[in-house]
Amino acid sequence: MGHIRLGVLPRTRNWRQVVALLDESLDAPRIASATLEAASRSFRTAADDPGLVYSAWLLTQLPLEARQTDFANRLRSHGIDLSPQATILELTTALAEAVDREAQRSKRRTDIGEMARLAATESLTAFCAEKTHSLFGSGIEDLRLAVKDLSTPKQFSLLARGFLTRFLNRYLGYFLSRELSRRVGPNGPLPNIKAHTEFNEALRLHCHQATRIVEEFAGGWFSKTNFEGGITPEKTRAFLHVALGKIRNELQRRRPEDEP
């Protein structure tokens, strides 16, 4: 099974613009906008990636299944098998394995799919760990109640935003990481590791701000779509097309060429 990589963009005019920005200033919003413009082709088609669609779809199914008392049995229908003493760590591991099996089945293992898989498990961990107070000890019923909390439009909107923020941050970092590492040193724009870390945090924060535009939309879509016949992978794909389009437009509001 082949691995479909995004590749790098060193020869394009837009990518040269990104590199120039890295040398001129470390303005995270401008660099994020320029990077997305340079990688716009793959970002426009990301919503069709099977790994991204399946990861997002499973995030819609877990809270809905948690509304039922036979939570464990219902998760098995999605290929997620949990023990009676299941923890958040066990759930996220099983979720990652389910996404991986889907990639094997579809014979489409991609970098975008891997980013989505990691974003999904990290988001679920972040939202559930606080409610169960532990990554390692809870039990299936405590876990079910924690996941069930994500089934309201408000809570799902926060989960969806967290997932899309992490995915976007990984996507931009995929292209920027090599160039950034080359610029760490006394004579570069990033004089030390601390500066490199601070830039990455600024980029993460900018991604979080950019995804605010989809928060309310995600909650409304979740509730309406579930009511109108249920959420399918195909409906999830359509949601991702709209959500990523909104995020793309939000990030590109500040293009480098618009700056004085």
Of the pLDDT bands very low, low, confident and very high (cuts 50, 70, 90), residue 76 is: very high
Q: Does the structure show a pLDDT above 80 at 129?
A: no
Per-residue pLDDT, averaged over 228-253, amounts to: 94
Per-residue pLDDT tens over the stretch 7-62: 554 555 666 777 778 777 778 888 888 888 888 888 889 999 999 999 999 999 99
Per-residue pLDDT tens over the stretch 144-169: 999 999 999 999 999 999 999 999 99
- Work out the mean pLDDT of the chain and round it to a whole number: 87
Give how many domains the chain has, as a whole number. Answer: 1
pLDDT, position 256: 46
pLDDT, position 166: 97
Better-predicted residue by pLDDT, 180 or 123: 123
SS (H, E, C) the chain: CCEECCCCCCCCHHHHHHHHHHHHCCCHHHHHHHHHHHCHHHHHCHHHCHHHHHHHHHHHHHHHHCCCCCHHHHHHCCCCCCCCCCCHHHHHHHHHHHHHHHHHHHCCEEHHHHHHHHHHHHHHHHHHHHHHCCCCCCCHHHHHHHHHHHHCHHHHHHHHHHHHHHHHHHHHHHHHHHHHHCCECCCCCECCHHHHHHHHHHHHHHHHHHHHHHHHHHHHHHHHHHHCCCCCHHHHHHHHHHHHHHHHHHHCCCCHHHCC
Of the pLDDT bands very low, low, confident and very high (cuts 50, 70, 90), residue 3 is: low
Q: Does the structure show a pLDDT above 60 at 1?
A: no
Per-residue pLDDT, averaged over 178-185, amounts to: 81
Of the pLDDT bands very low, low, confident and very high (cuts 50, 70, 90), residue 190 is: confident
Domain range for residue 29? 3-258
pLDDT, position 196: 82
| 0.85 exceeded by pTM | yes
